[in-house]
Structure 1
């Protein structure tokens, strides 16, 4: 087998392992959401102001300046994946970054978060 063929085989196996891990992570997400569903809520002004100070008035992803009213509250692990409203799962993003991010999350980050959330139910 040539080096090129070995690389292609390894890449294919890596991609398959990624999809299998993501499938398991999404199954875990559904279980945690069933045990402890989260609801969207209105954010307290004090919480938003505190987060803005912590982030130095910068978008958490692109680091552009944001000011009160020009940002969106983002769930690092989205609600759709079982993410909760705890402050460690929140960040302020500019509208463009929040749209780009969508509900994407790495499977290992999702599993780590879900494990922590499950252990604290």
Structure 2
């Protein structure tokens, strides 16, 4: 199977349709599910040090991978329901961020864009 967002969306759509779940996958519900899964991802890192968060063991890494997969699944379905091309939107957002955060001005500095204008 090709490694693409379109292929994943097709598989996710088939999964939902076979279970008659597409009726529940409104943009609102998908956005809420996405936020919930992001919270579950955060739980895996809560109370860890920076070093611990960068060196998860195999079991924890697998659990985190499953949460990331849930997030990606809901994100892909939400984009499909809203007719958003995630690749094109991401390319556009990178171009915007390249303008907002010019390398010569922000290298090694993690402030928000508005803070650089001061």
**TM-score, scaled to structure 2:** 0.28
Highest relative contact order (Cα 8 Å, sep 6+), 1 or 2? 2
When you count strand as a share of all residues, which structure comes out higher?
1
**TM-score, scaled to structure 1:** 0.27
When you count helix as a share of all residues, which structure comes out higher?
2
